[in-house]
Amino acid sequence: MFFAEIIDNLSFGLSVAFTPTNMLFLLIGAFVGMVVGLFPGFGPAAGIAILIPMTFGLNPTTAIIMLSGIYYGSMYGGTITSILINTPGESATVASTLDG
């Protein structure tokens, strides 16, 4: 009985997360986050702090999904600059400057 309830709640959460609207805002957030992460000195926290007003008019679930896309996109964008121009944009990508 407990296992069936977990499966039901998990399937409901995935059905909400994978709606076309939420996936579109995830894609937009990842792209915008990657652009923000390309600038040296702007990390994921700064990207979210700067771009949080973009999510004020959205559904709360869609806003959280978009903010997570911004976070992960800016983490990836910081890696691009640390490998290509050997300038880490944040402390998490310092090791990538040595590898790239």
What domain range is 68 assigned to?
A: 2-99
pTM of the model: 0.86
The tally of domains found in the chain comes to 1
Each residue's pLDDT tens digit, 8-31: 999 999 999 999 999 999 999 999
100 pLDDT above the threshold of 70: no
With a pLDDT cut of 70, the percent of the chain lying above it is 99
67 pLDDT above the threshold of 70: yes
The angle that helices 60-84 and 44-51 make with each other, rounded to 10 degrees, is: 140
State the Cα torsion 70-76-82-83 to the nearest 10°.
Answer: -150
Q: How confident is the model at residue 89 (pLDDT cuts 50, 70, 90)?
A: confident
